Amino acid sequence: MRIYELVNFNRELLERIHRAGIRPDDYKYADLYAEYRALVAGGEKVTYIVSMLSVRYGVSERQVYNLLDKFNREITYCNPVAVE
C-alpha cells in the first residue's frame, strides 16, 4: 500500500481529526489519559497522577496537563466533511 492510498482511503477521518485540532501524534497519549481517568476514579490526587504519568511517559508535567486539557475538550461540531 502506498501513502497516497492510505490517505485517500481515510480522507474524511483525517479531515475531521484536523478540524478538531488533533495532532497526528496525539494517539500516543490515549493510554496516558485512560490511566489518568482510572486513577482519578480511584481517588488519587491530580498532582500525584500528573507527576507519575510524566515520568512513565517521558514528558514534562506541563505537557501532561496540556494533554489532559486537550483530551477532555468537547468537540463542538459534527458536520460531515464533503469529500471531492
pLDDT in tens, 64-82: 999 999 999 988 765 555 5
pLDDT of residue 27: 94
d(CA 79, CA 39): 34
Which is nearest to 36 in space by CA: 23, 17, 51?
Answer: 51
The per-residue pLDDT for 75 is 85
Amino acid present at 6: L
pLDDT of residue 35: 98
- Please give the Cα distance from 57 to 42 (Å, whole number): 20
In which region does residue 74 sit, left (phi positive, over 0), alpha (psi from -120 to 50) or beta (all else)?
Answer: beta
Report the C-alpha gap between 40 and 42 in whole angstroms.
Answer: 5
pLDDT in tens, 3-43: 999 999 999 999 999 988 899 899 999 999 999 999 999 99
Cα–Cα dist 32/80, whole Å: 29
**Is the confidence at residue 49, as pLDDT, over 90?**
yes
23: its cell numbers: 495532532
